[in-house]
Structure 1
């Protein structure tokens, strides 16, 4: 780092379901292609590791262990070996919950690219909201 703190955006979406319900669905990597198509369109488990096909190529996904605190942090390892840590939380909010994704601006990223990434994350969280709130409840 050049001594300048990186910029973060906390993108939150309210979900009319309990934090436990949101966490249960979102914590299952097999569900990622349904609600996070911006990240991947297919996932597969190989032993205790998860891999996904994405617009960036084949990526490896490492998830926080199951926990009662709503922590859904995950690391994305690109084919280049570069790793991005993504903090995600499901927290109680009113009669439902809020899912919050912390997006970090990467070095050299333009305002337009940061805004584009923000919109993509928000779209993924809105898809998660629609799925978990749907009558079928997945």
Structure 2
């Protein structure tokens, strides 16, 4: 079985490496990902975020040269949600792509709203990155 999925993307006028370096640092999440993190702190080896869903644990893929920004979010229920995400070159800039899965129990309305929140987060990321010199 597969989940319904939607790829949400944005072009950013910064290199893929610049975007990757910023996004892969969990400490930066509150600056661009309000849908996931209002605040975040490192507790031992874990990154703990205060989110609209409650207190969650966020774990990004190991550092890599391929722009893979996949991350797991462990919800207050203990359920872990896998979030595929990439930053890859597009001429002198880059594309950032987030794959949103429609998980069991999520209504069409919730899925649509989740997609809108991801779009807002990616627009915020674009603005932040393009404002940086």
TM range, smaller chain: over 0.9
Question: Runs (4+) of structure 1 moved beyond 3 Å?
Answer: none
Structure 2: which 5+ runs fail to align? none
- Which piece of structure 1 moves more, 102-111 or 26-35? 102-111
TM-score, length basis structure 1 = 0.92
Residue equivalent to 2:11: 14
Give, in whole Å, the separation in 1 of the partners of 2:105 and 2:73. 19
CA offsets 1:2-28 (integer angstroms, 9 cap, x no match): x4x210001000000100000011111
Alpha-carbon deviation of 1:94?
2.6
CA offsets 1:109-134 (integer angstroms, 9 cap, x no match): 22221111111001101100100000
Is residue 34 of structure 2 the alignment partner of residue 34 of structure 1? no
Root mean square deviation of aligned Cα:
1.0
Match of 2:114 among 100, 117, 120: 117
Aligned residue pair count: 133
Q: Work out which of the two has the higher radius of gyration on C-alpha atoms and give 1 or 2.
A: 1
TM-score, length basis structure 2 = 0.96
Give, in whole Å, the separation in 2 of the partners of 1:34 and 1:112. 26
